[in-house]
Structure 1
C-alpha cells in the first residue's frame, strides 16, 4: 500500500495473517476474515484470521502443553532467547516501523521510536530473567527456617491496544517469558499485523512452540471470556480503556485471576510561575503529541500559572500550528491521522462542547477534507472545568488550557478526576517540585520532563487508571507466585 500523496513510498512486508497457535499458522474458525485499514488512506491493507471460541481454547491447550517445559527451562536460557528476539527486532526496526505506520497511521518518526522502545523490553527482561532470586532466613523463634521461592504464575492472557502495537506486546510478553510463563496475545483488531510480525520474531529467536500464541478475533468478548473461564489460565494483563477494564476484572474475578490493568488516563500538565517557559513548551509538545495525542500518557489538561498563561498559550499554539500533518508513513510527516472516523468525530464533539462553554480556539479544530482520519492539531484556551475534554480522555492532538493562581488551586484541579496514571509538573524549584509531586495522585510524574516511559522503570497508575506495574524489576513480579516453605533441618 502506498501513500495517497507519494507513489514512491514502498509498502512494508506484510507478515502472515493467520492465527499463531502452538507454533503453527492456522486458519480461524470465527467466520469471515477481519479487514485491516490504513488510517491515512482508508484503504484496506489486508485481512487477518478471525478466531472462534474453539480457537481460543486451542491456544490455551497449546500454552498448557508448553508450560511445564518452559517453566523448567533455566533462566539463563530463557534470557538468551529474549536477547535473540531483541537483536532480531533491532535488525528489522525500519520494516517494523513502516508496518506500524501503515496499520496505525502514526508518523514514521514516532513509529521508529516505538520500535526502539519495544525492543528494549526484550533486552531488559533478558537480563531480569536471571535475577529472580529467592530468600532464606531463620524464623524469629529459632524453631525453623523460612525459604521463599518464586514460581511462574501460569498461562497468561495478554490483551493489547491499537495505539502502541509493538511496545504493548513486548512490555507484556517479555516479563511473562522471563518469569517462565506461557502466554496468549490478543492484539487489537485495528493493528494486528505488528503482533503477527512479533510472532515471527519470537519463533525465529527460539521461543518453543506454544510458549507464545497470537490470535485475532472479531468476537473479543466471547473469545476472551472463554479463555478467562478456563481454569488453566491464571493471569490477565490488559491495556486499554477503564470501561473495558472493569468488565474484564468482573470476568476475571470468577476464577480469582492474578490481574494487571493499565487503564485510561486524564493527565494534568502543570506549569508553575517559576517554570522555564521554553522548557515547559518543549515538554508540552512531547507530552501532548507523542503518537499524535493517542497515548494514555498524553497530557490531557494544561494548567498554567496566570503570570505565564498568555505566553504559554500563544507559544503552544504557534508550535502546534507548525506541525506537518500528512500520511503517517511519509518520512516528512510529524502528525499522522487518528485511528478511525469515530475518533475524529469524538474529538470534534469535545471541541464544540468546549467552545459552547466559552473556550477559544487558538489553532486547529477542524478535520481535513480528504481521505484519511485527519484532525488538525488543536489548542484551546480558557477552557472551563466543566468542559467534557477536561474530564474525558481526549486521545487526539487537542490541548485545552486553563489558568490558576495558587499551588493549592493547581493541585486540586490536577487531582479532580477518577484517573491517576501520570501527571507533568514544571518548576525550577526542585524542593517545590518534590513537595508538589507528593501531592499529585498519580502513579507516575514527569518533573520537568515531557516523557517518563522507560523499560527500566515501573509504569502504572493509581485510582481508575489501573492495578500493577509494567517495566523495571516490578514488571516481572506481576508474572510470579511467591511460595513460602517452612523448613526444619
Structure 2
C-alpha cells in the first residue's frame, strides 16, 4: 500500500503533514505506513473560523434540526464503515476490537440523535426547570435556560478508540450547537482522519462545524477564552499539565478530563469453583485482558480474589488464555492483536517491571507464538 499522509482540516482546507511529521507504523508488522503532524497550522484562524462560521450556522438550527443532522450523519458513516474496518487492522485491532470502536462510535451518535428528538425541545433554547417565584406577588421571577456556548470545543482524544473517541464527543457537542476542533492521538489518528473525511464528504454539517488537527495542538490552548471548552481523554499526568495552562486558568476555560480510570474485577469470597459466577468471572477477566490487547480505557487494573481461591483462579485463567491466538488481526484464527504503538509497548513493559518487585508472572512470555506472516520483531505485541 502507498504511504498515508495524514492531513489536518483547518478553516475549510485540507493540509498535509509537514517536514517534521512523525512516522506511523503498522502495529502488527512494524512496517512504515505513513506520516502525520508537523504542519504549521494557524490555530488562531481555526478557532475564529469555528466561532464566526460554524457556531452561528449551528445555533440557527433547533435541537431537533441538529438531532436529525446527527442521525443522517450516523447513517452515512454506517453505510461506509467497512473501509474503516480495513484500516483499523493497522492499529493492531481485530475485527471484534474494531466493532467496539467503529460500530460503537456510530451507535453512540445514533443514541444522541434519538435523545435530541425525544428529550430536547424543537427550539433554540432549552428550559431547565419551572419558573421560580422570587417575590411574594410574582413581580420578580426567574427561569433557568440553557443556550449554546459562543465558542469552540477542543476535543483531545486518546489512541485506543480513534473512531468512537471522536464520535462520542462530537455527538453531544454538535447537538448542543457548538463547533468542534478534533485532535486525535497521532499513533492511530489516520483512522480518525478517515472517519473525519467521511464526515466532511457527507456535506451534512455546516461549514466550520468541525475541524481536525493531525499532530500537536500548538499554541491553541493559549487562544481559548471563557466561551470555549476543552474535553480531554488520556493520562492523569497529561491532563494535569494541560489543565495548568495559564491562559485556561486565567479565562476559566471549561476543562473536562477522562483520565486513568481505576477498575477491578472482584471475586466474592463466597464463590466456589463449581459456581456459575466463577466461570463468569474467568470469562470476563480474560476478555478484559485480551480485548483491544488490554488497551480499553475501562480495562481492569487489578484482579482481586480471596487467598483460598488464588491458585484456582490462576489455573483457570492460564487454561483459558492459553487458547488465545496472538498475531495478525486480519486472520480469523487470531483473537488478540498487537498494541497500538511502540510507545504503548514501552509503557506496558515499564509497568511489568514495576510489578516484578512484588509479584511474579504466572501467565504469558516475552516471545509469545504469533499467527501470521511477516510478524518478525517489528510488531508491538505485549
Aligned to 1:256: 252
Counterpart among 71, 88, 91 of residue 100 in structure 1: 88
Distance 1:145 1:62, change over 3 A: same
Answer whether contact 1:229 1:254 (CA < 8 A) is retained. no
2:15 aligned to 26, 36, 46, which one? 26
Deviation string 1:298-331 (CA, Å, 9 cap, x unpaired) is: 1111110233222111111211221110023333
Q: Distance in 2 between matches of 1:91 and 1:49?
A: 29
Aligned partners of 1:231 and 1:349: how far apart in 2? 38
Q: Secondary structure at the match of 1:361?
A: coil
Q: Distance in 1 between matches of 2:226 and 2:48?
A: 9
TM-score by length of 1: 0.68
Q: Which runs of 5+ in 1 are unaligned?
A: 2-10, 376-489
Superposed CA offset, 1:113-132 (max 9, x none): 32111011211111233434
1:15 Cα deviation from its structure 2 partner: 8.1
Q: Secondary structure at the match of 1:170?
A: helix
CA apart distance, 1:356: 4.2
Asked if 1:119 is matched to 2:106, the reply is yes
1:25-74 Cα distance to aligned partner (Å, 9 max, x none): 2345x54333221111111212235332x432222122112211211212
Equivalent residues in 2 for 1:373-384, closer than 5 Å: 373-375=380-382
For the residue of structure 2 that corresponds to 1:20, the secondary structure is strand
How many aligned residue pairs are there? Answer: 356
**Tell me, what secondary structure is at the counterpart of 2:166?**
helix
> 1:164, CA displacement in angstroms?
0.5
Counterpart for residue 360 of structure 1? 360
- Please point out which of 370, 374, 399 is paired with 2:377: 370
Q: By how many angstroms is 1:366 displaced?
A: 0.9
Match of 1:211 in 2: 209
Structure 1 counterpart of 2:345: 344
For residue 208 of structure 1, report the CA deviation from its aligned partner: 1.2
Q: What is residue 243 of structure 1 aligned with on the other side?
A: 237
Compute the TM-score of the two structures, normalised by the length of structure 2: 0.86
Preserved contact between residue 60 and residue 227 of structure 1 (Cα < 8 Å): no
Whole-Å separation in 2 of the counterparts to 1:232 and 1:360: 50
Give the Cα–Cα distance (whole angstroms) in 2 for the partners of residues 197 and 169 of structure 1.
Answer: 12
2:225/2:253 contact within 8 Å kept: no
Preserved CA contact (<8 Å) 1:325 1:333: yes
Q: Which residue of 2 aligns with 1:267?
A: 263
Give the secondary-structure state (helix, strand or coil) at the position aligned to 1:231.
coil
The CA RMSD measured in Å over matched residues stands at: 2.3
Could you tell me which of 71, 89, 96 is aligned with 2:77? Answer: 89
Unaligned segments of structure 2, at least 5 residues: 121-125, 272-276, 369-375
